[in-house]
Structure 1
Amino acid sequence: MTTIQNTKLKATFNELGAELVSLINLEIGKEIIWEGNADFWSGQSPVLFPTVGALKDDKYIFKGKTYELPRHGFARKRVFAAKKSSESEIIFELKSDEESIKIYPFQFSLEIKYTLVENKLTVSYQVKNLSEKEMYFSLGAHPGFAIDTEKGLNYSDYEIIFSDDEKLEIHPLADNLISNKIKIIELENKTLPLSYELFSKDALVMTTMKSQELILRNKKNNHKVIFSFSNFPYFGIWAAKNADFVCLEPWQGIADLENHNQELTEKFGILKLEKNEDWKADWAVEIE
């Protein structure tokens, strides 16, 4: 485990997956990140790369060859190299190797930088194509935020406020794949009340969400997590059944569509990088 901190926040990371496993508000001693209880979900803030969500039959085809990848890719199960640049900033890097090439035939560098400034944590991603040919990938964030249900508080005391959406167009999941159906959730005052029932049929997957900022707010004590992101066109919201957390997930890419032909180059949301080209995106969480 590796830690960075300033006077307001303390963040802890696991080099396995470069995963954020703790973010403590030092002013009130409150943990912001889900505890990772394996009875519900053992993850806390995994990095999804080089795919987001499930592949059809866990397989994809590239240049006539079939490869297998687990749901959300392999980066979350790999050890990243850590380089601490200051007390309040750390950089992790994962590079392709002989093992990754067997299941993902591209040479790459994935760099993740975590930076604390005042009461804000910023997470920046850079993917670089080190291959001699074009490279195809997706990347997503999956941070789980703790929901406080102690001292008279309930899951339903929380809500998500969207900066720019009056309604949400949801793509329901069918066996972990994106179905052809659309479900509309109308928002009142751009607000989505949280409930355990909201995720009874898995994640809320959106490809047309307008908001670039969301606020996770407790209506009783007005504690807030302000979540913002850039260069991620898709978004997911998810929680495990009856678990006291909610994941706010900006994505570049989504699970395979039900009728996808498994060709990697034709996958919805996939990105292509030319030789030596890079891609950048980020998200941030501000604690109030």
Structure 2
Amino acid sequence: MIFIENEHIIASFSAKGAELQSIKGTDSETEYMWSGNANYWAKFSPILFPIVGAIKYESYQFEGENYHLPRHGFARDMEFEYHHVNEQEIVFTLKHSEVTFKVYPFAFILSIRYKIHGASLCCTYEVSNPSDKELLFSIGAHPAFAAPLNKQGVYTDYYLLFNKDEEITFHHIIDNLISDNTTTIKLEEGKLPLTHELFYDDALVIKNLKSDSISILNTKNYNGLDFHFKDFPYFGIWAAKDADFVCLEPWCGIADGINHNQQLRDKEGIVFLEPNGEWQRTWQVTCF
């Protein structure tokens, strides 16, 4: 494992997928990330690139050519290069190659920068376009946080607290694609109680979230965390069936709609990056 640490937390990673796999308190040894139990879901915090979610028939067209990509893209399954900036910061990098060109006809440099300060971990996605052609991509986070934390209580002791929403409206997923069918949940004082049944029909996909901070708290005053994000137009909330975690997923991009024409340029949420351009977004988790 690769790690960075300070006097408050230690964060561990894998070079495969540049995946964050653990955040622990240095004194309490409280583990804030999901365990990766393969009986439920064997990942921890995959990076979704160059697409978020599924594309229709796992294929898309660009400039008259047909390409195939699996759900959430290829970055999460590829080996990243990495270097430590210092004991508290690390950067993982993935670049285009002959392998990626077979499924994705764009030159790119994707860097994932993790930095800790105090009891917070900051994750920044940096995308560079090294070519003289436009780069089309999506990117999203998928961190799974343990609930209960440190085996304190049970799943239903926990809830999500939204800092700006009084209700959330989510789109239903049909065959991995986004439908126009929606459900609205009223939030009492911004709270969404966690139940396993909440995710039995897949993720809650939200297009109009007002909040830029969601906290994982509980009714027993155990440990918790604050999750901050900015300028991500879509948000997913998910857990595997009956698993003791919840994923908080800010996205720049979204799965195809059920009526999508499979043209990459027409894909909802796609980011267009100009030649030689640079782009970045950041999310942060603060543990307590």
Q: TM (normalized to structure 2)?
A: 0.98
The 3-state SS of whatever aligns with 1:171 is strand
Question: In structure 1, what is the equivalent of residue 10 of structure 2?
Answer: 10
Q: Which digits, 9 at most, give the CA deviation of each residue in 1:251-284, with x for residues without a partner?
A: 0001000000000000000010110111110100
The answer to whether the Cα contact below 8 Å between 2:30 and 2:150 also exists between their aligned partners in 1 is no
Task: Tell me how far apart the structure 2 counterparts of residues 42 and 152 of structure 1 sit (CA, whole Å).
Answer: 22
Task: Tell me how far apart the structure 1 counterparts of residues 21 and 190 of structure 2 sit (CA, whole Å).
Answer: 30
Question: In structure 2, what is the equivalent of residue 282 of structure 1?
Answer: 282
> Which is further off, 153-162 or 143-152?
143-152
Question: In structure 2, what is the equivalent of residue 38 of structure 1?
Answer: 38
2:53 equivalent to 1:53: yes
How far has the Cα of 1:159 moved from its partner?
0.3
Question: In structure 1, what is the equivalent of residue 225 of structure 2?
Answer: 225
* Paired-residue identity, %: 48
The 3-state SS of whatever aligns with 1:198 is helix
How far has the Cα of 1:131 moved from its partner?
2.1
The answer to whether the Cα contact below 8 Å between 1:149 and 1:155 also exists between their aligned partners in 2 is no
The answer to whether the Cα contact below 8 Å between 1:231 and 1:280 also exists between their aligned partners in 2 is no
Question: In structure 2, what is the equivalent of residue 181 of structure 1?
Answer: 181
Question: In structure 2, what is the equivalent of residue 209 of structure 1?
Answer: 209
**Amino acid of the residue matched to residue 39 of structure 2?**
D
How far has the Cα of 1:244 moved from its partner?
0.5
Question: In structure 1, what is the equivalent of residue 170 of structure 2?
Answer: 170
Q: TM (normalized to structure 1)?
A: 0.98
The answer to whether the Cα contact below 8 Å between 1:61 and 1:67 also exists between their aligned partners in 2 is yes
Question: In structure 2, what is the equivalent of residue 125 of structure 1?
Answer: 125
The 3-state SS of whatever aligns with 1:47 is coil
The 3-state SS of whatever aligns with 2:102 is helix
Unaligned runs of 5+ in 2: none
Q: Which digits, 9 at most, give the CA deviation of each residue in 1:191-224, with x for residues without a partner?
A: 1000001001000000100100011002112422
Q: Which digits, 9 at most, give the CA deviation of each residue in 1:230-254, with x for residues without a partner?
A: 2211100000011000000000001
Q: Which digits, 9 at most, give the CA deviation of each residue in 1:73-129, with x for residues without a partner?
A: 000011011010100110011000111011100000001110010100000111011
Task: Tell me how far apart the structure 2 counterparts of residues 151 and 24 of structure 1 sit (CA, whole Å).
Answer: 14
Task: Tell me how far apart the structure 2 counterparts of residues 15 and 97 of structure 1 sit (CA, whole Å).
Answer: 17
> Which is further off, 218-227 or 136-145?
218-227
Task: Tell me how far apart the structure 1 counterparts of residues 122 and 152 of structure 2 sit (CA, whole Å).
Answer: 32
The 3-state SS of whatever aligns with 2:7 is coil
Question: In structure 2, what is the equivalent of residue 258 of structure 1?
Answer: 258
The 3-state SS of whatever aligns with 1:76 is helix
How far has the Cα of 1:150 moved from its partner?
7.3
User: Given the superposition, is the C-alpha separation of residues 64 and 3 from structure 1 closer, same or farther in structure 2, using an over 3 Å criterion?
Assistant: same
Task: Tell me how far apart the structure 1 counterparts of residues 150 and 79 of structure 2 sit (CA, whole Å).
Answer: 35
The 3-state SS of whatever aligns with 2:79 is coil
**Amino acid of the residue matched to residue 18 of structure 1?**
A
The answer to whether the Cα contact below 8 Å between 2:141 and 2:251 also exists between their aligned partners in 1 is yes
The 3-state SS of whatever aligns with 2:180 is coil
2:89 equivalent to 1:73: no
2:274 equivalent to 1:240: no
The 3-state SS of whatever aligns with 1:228 is strand
> Which is further off, 152-161 or 112-121?
152-161
User: Which runs of structure 1 show a deviation greater than 6 angstroms over 4 or more consecutive aligned residues?
Assistant: 149-152
The answer to whether the Cα contact below 8 Å between 1:149 and 1:244 also exists between their aligned partners in 2 is no
Corresponding pairs, count = 288
The answer to whether the Cα contact below 8 Å between 1:115 and 1:123 also exists between their aligned partners in 2 is yes
The correspondence of residues 85-104 of structure 1 with structure 2, limited to 5 A, is: 85-104=85-104
The 3-state SS of whatever aligns with 2:100 is helix
The answer to whether the Cα contact below 8 Å between 1:110 and 1:125 also exists between their aligned partners in 2 is yes
User: Given the superposition, is the C-alpha separation of residues 100 and 193 from structure 1 closer, same or farther in structure 2, using an over 3 Å criterion?
Assistant: same
Task: Tell me how far apart the structure 1 counterparts of residues 151 and 263 of structure 2 sit (CA, whole Å).
Answer: 51
The 3-state SS of whatever aligns with 1:181 is strand
User: Given the superposition, is the C-alpha separation of residues 133 and 255 from structure 1 closer, same or farther in structure 2, using an over 3 Å criterion?
Assistant: same
Q: Which digits, 9 at most, give the CA deviation of each residue in 1:137-176, with x for residues without a partner?
A: 0000000001127767110000000010001010000010
